[in-house]
């Protein structure tokens, strides 16, 4: 087949660490089905994501732009209309395009559907928290959301295969998003215990089997050999490295280093089996278009890796930028930004860090200050990059409907945002790791039904750090569950002083006021909450109840 018409299949395995695949040297388990993508393929062994969060990372993947440039730096934001994506570039060349989504964080309403003919995301949220990126699906208890936030990868794969089967003779681009590696895990803990492996690895074995089944189906349908198949992850997982259990807090390689495996069509090549040059997810879309002989849009700022894969381009150290603002947005601590050139990686923080990843891949020895030449070079280049790609801010679209305006505010896109201290005066997230762990401990206690213990832990955090917005919000939520309505009211008021457009804080403040008999104040708060998230049926229902109480009691 002419490579300009090759089918393109892009698979993103959410939260997959590169160093847990046997192709990357892992020995605790084997991942033979994922490794099979490398038959007539290339393994890119030093690829980093630009931000370790689901929606922002996929936005960089599809638009080939930096998070600081496109403005998507948290899960609770809306991709602006009019963005040029890989899907829109391919559709403009006659490709049929479809996406099959595994998590609500890439739900169609988030705006990443631009360029897709079909965008299969069977989720329906009512609001997002612009502070934490959490999804609210119409229930007051946070522990009840998970079952409606994602769907099993087997369903994603089946839907994608069905779509491909109907269009096997057309130029097609299909995107699969598998969320199975993300907590909470679907595989029982007993499976991991029986095999003597971690729950993360047990989950990976499940994903490996899914992808093996999908690859075999593509082979049987005659699609595999003629397709360009790209497997990536949006970010990794801390798994305790540097004290980080999950992802999004730090920007060490445990959460930045991702696999990139490319299976070339049988008629293409030859290509090198391994490319070790550092690269970023921002480079994936330009590489796909280059292989198809399609010019990359001017808005794409990544580079094609095809030259390195073919051996036509000599190795040259390119800059790889990454960031995380989650500690800043959620807790009022410092933002983290990094730049890698060659084997050296610099992390901009109140206490800067520099690592030689060739000698120290697990980033155990901070050598910042040991060699001023490297320090100054990477600091200068990072500053230049941020000047080239400045944040656009949350500019209001020129003309949007009131309903869309309210939806974007619920997603944080048009919100005023938290009123946090200016950067430069903020704590280094490294110094606040103990507090971050305490916050997670409180969340676990609450999930296990121990609300009083959670409130105690969070109250201690707030006493030491009044800017800890998530702690304030959760004290309010857990106090409401415990029917401590006055305490809940006080905590929500403090929280909303910094985050006035947070839907859940505003809604639950209204509920606390209603329980305290402050019906008019409850009506005002619920009206504001419903304007933030007009689709939230829990809000409209509660507002109707409060208005009924006002009519019954004459409380004006």
Above 60 in pLDDT, residue 2? no
Q: Which pLDDT score, from 0 to 100, does residue 413 have?
A: 32
Is-cis flag, bond preceding 184, omega within 30?
yes
The answer to which of 9-18, 297-306, 422-431 has the lowest mean pLDDT is: 422-431
- What is the average per-residue pLDDT within 13-17? 98
| Beta carbons within 8 Å of 417's beta carbon, 6+ residues apart | 130, 329, 394, 499, 501
CB 283 within 8 A of CB 302: yes
- Mean pLDDT over residues 239-258, rounded? 96
Answering whether pTM is above 0.85, one says yes
**In the chain, where the domains are located:** 3-302, 402-553
pLDDT of residue 443: 87
Mean pLDDT, residues 491-517:
93
402-553 domain in CATH 1.25.40.10? yes
- Categorize the per-residue pLDDT at 460 as very low, low, confident or very high, splitting at 50, 70 and 90: very high
Mean pLDDT calculated for residue range 501-508: 90
Residue 467 has what pLDDT?
79
Question: Does residue 128 surpass a pLDDT of 70?
Answer: no
The dihedral through the CA atoms of 388, 393, 398, 402 has a sign that is: positive
CA distance linking residue 506 with residue 516, whole number of Å: 16
**149 vs 471, residue with greater confidence:** 471
Measured between alpha carbons, how far is 322 from 287 in angstroms, rounded to an integer?
19
What residues are paired with 354 via a beta bridge?
346
Positive or negative torsion for Cα 64, 69, 75, 76: negative
Find the mean pLDDT for residues 357-366: 97
Q: Where on the phi/psi map is residue 412: left (φ > 0), alpha (ψ -120 to 50), or beta?
A: left
Does pLDDT of 407 surpass 80? no
* pLDDT for residue 450: 93
User: How confident is the model over 200-219, as a mean pLDDT?
Assistant: 97
556: pLDDT confidence band, cut at 50, 70 and 90? Answer: low
Q: Among residues 527, 521, 520, which one has the least CA distance to residue 542?
A: 527
**For residues 406 and 531, is the Cβ–Cβ distance under 8 A?**
yes
- Alpha-carbon span 225 to 268, nearest angstrom: 10
Task: Quote the CATH superfamily of domain 3-302.
Answer: Alkaline Phosphatase, subunit A (3.40.720.10)
- Looking at 9-13, 52-56, 466-470, which range is the least confident one? 466-470
Chain segment 26-38, per-residue pLDDT in tens? 999 999 999 999 9
Summarize pLDDT for 98-109 with one digit per residue, the tens. Answer: 999 999 889 998
Residue 232 has φ and ψ, to the nearest 5°, of -135, 175
Query: What local confidence, expressed as pLDDT, does residue 134 receive?
Result: 60
Per-residue pLDDT for 176 more than 50?
A: yes
Find out whether the peptide bond into 270 is cis, omega within 30 degrees of 0. Answer: yes
Average pLDDT, the chain: 89
Average pLDDT, stretch 57-76?
94
pLDDT at 132: 60
- Report the share of the chain in percent with pLDDT over 90: 75
For residue 319, what are the β-bridge partners?
A: 341
């Amino acid at each position: 087949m002419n490579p300009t018409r090759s089918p393109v299949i892009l698979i993103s395995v959410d939260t997959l660490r590169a160093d847990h695949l046997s192709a990357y040297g892992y020995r605790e388990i084997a991942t033979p089905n994922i490794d099979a993508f490398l038959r007539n393929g290339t393994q890119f062994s030093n690829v980093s994501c630009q931000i370790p969060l689901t929606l922002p990372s996929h936005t960089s993947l599809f638009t080939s732009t930096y998070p600081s440039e496109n403005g998507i730096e948290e899960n609770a934001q809306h991709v602006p209309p009019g963005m040029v994506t890989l899907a829109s570039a391919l559709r403009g060349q006659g490709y049929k395009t479809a996406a099959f989504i595994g998590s609500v964080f890439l739900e169609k309403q988030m705006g990443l559907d631009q360029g897709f003919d079909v965008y299969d995301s069977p989720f329906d949220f009512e609001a997002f928290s612009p502070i934490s990126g959490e999804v609210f699906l119409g229930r007051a208890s946070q522990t009840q959301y998970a079952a409606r936030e994602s769907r099993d990868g087997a369903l994603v794969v089946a839907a994608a295969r069905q779509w491909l089967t109907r269009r096997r003779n057309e130029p097609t681009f299909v995107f699969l998003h598998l969320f199975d590696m993300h907590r909470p895990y679907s595989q029982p803990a007993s499976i991991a215990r029986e095999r003597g492996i971690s729950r993360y690895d047990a989950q990976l074995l499940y994903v490996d089997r899914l992808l093996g089944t999908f690859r075999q189906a593509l082979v049987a349908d005659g699609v595999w050999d003629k397709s360009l198949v790209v497997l990536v992850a949006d970010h990794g997982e801390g798994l305790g490295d540097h004290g980080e259990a999950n992802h999004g807090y730090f920007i060490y390689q445990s959460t930045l280093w991702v696999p990139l495996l490319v299976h070339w069509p049988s008629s293409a090549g030859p290509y090198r089996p391994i490319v070790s040059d550092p690269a970023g997810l921002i480079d994936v879309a330009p590489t796909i278009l280059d292989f198809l002989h399609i010019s990359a849009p001017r808005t794409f700022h990544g580079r094609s890796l095809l030259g390195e894969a073919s051996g036509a381009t000599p190795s040259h150290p390119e800059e790889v930028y990454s960031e995380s603002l989650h500690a800043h947005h959620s807790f009022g601590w410092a933002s983290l930004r990094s730049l890698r050139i060659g084997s050296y990686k610099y992390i901009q923080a109140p206490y800067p860090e520099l690592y030689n990843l060739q000698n120290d891949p697990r980033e155990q020895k901070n050598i910042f200050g040991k060699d001023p030449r490297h320090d100054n070079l990477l600091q200068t280049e990072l500053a230049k990059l941020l000047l080239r790609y400045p944040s656009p801010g949350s500019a209001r679209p020129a003309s949007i409907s009131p309903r869309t305006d309210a939806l974007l505010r619920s997603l944080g896109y048009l919100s005023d945002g938290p009123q946090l201290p200016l950067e430069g005066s903020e704590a280094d997230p490294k110094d606040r790791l103990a507090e971050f762990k305490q916050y997670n401990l409180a969340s676990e206690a609450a999930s296990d039904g121990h609300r009083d213990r959670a409130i105690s832990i969070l109250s201690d955090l707030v006493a030491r750090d009044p800017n800890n917005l998530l702690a304030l919000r959760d004290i309010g939520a857990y106090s409401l569950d415990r029917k401590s309505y006055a305490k809940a009211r006080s905590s929500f008021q403090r929280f909303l002083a910094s985050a006035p457009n947070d839907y859940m804080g505003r809604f639950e403040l209204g509920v606390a006021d209603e329980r305290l008999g402050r019906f008019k104040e409850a009506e005002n708060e619920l009206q504001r909450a419903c304007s933030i998230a007009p689709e939230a049926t829990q809000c409209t229902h509660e507002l109707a109840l409060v208005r009924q109480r006002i009519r019954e009691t004459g409380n004006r």
